[in-house]
Amino acid sequence: MKVSKLRSGQEVIIRLGKITDAEAFIAFVHRVSGESDHLSFGQQEWTVTPDEQKENIKR
């Protein structure tokens, strides 16, 4: 785990993903994919399931 301080003074914690983060991670990717033109996939095109993401996190 690493704690960094932003210029605004806010602290950000960077840590390894946990199995319980899988669904939130998928929701984040779906949101970001709809906001960016710089990805190789569009909104809702990332098709990793929660179970697949859990396995990715385990690895």
pLDDT digits (tens, 9 = 90+) for 2-56: 999 999 999 999 999 999 999 999 999 988 888 888 888 888 788 999 999 999 9
Helix axis angle for 22-33 and 50-58, nearest 10°, is 110
Q: Is the pLDDT of residue 57 over 90?
A: yes
pLDDT recorded at residue 39 = 84
pLDDT at 24: 96
- Structure pTM? 0.73
CB contact set of 19 (below 8 Å; sequence gap of 6+): 54, 57, 58
Distance from C-alpha of 24 to C-alpha of 48, rounded to nearest angstrom: 12
Name the phi and psi angles at 12, rounded to 5.
Answer: -120, 130
The pLDDT of residue 3 is: 97
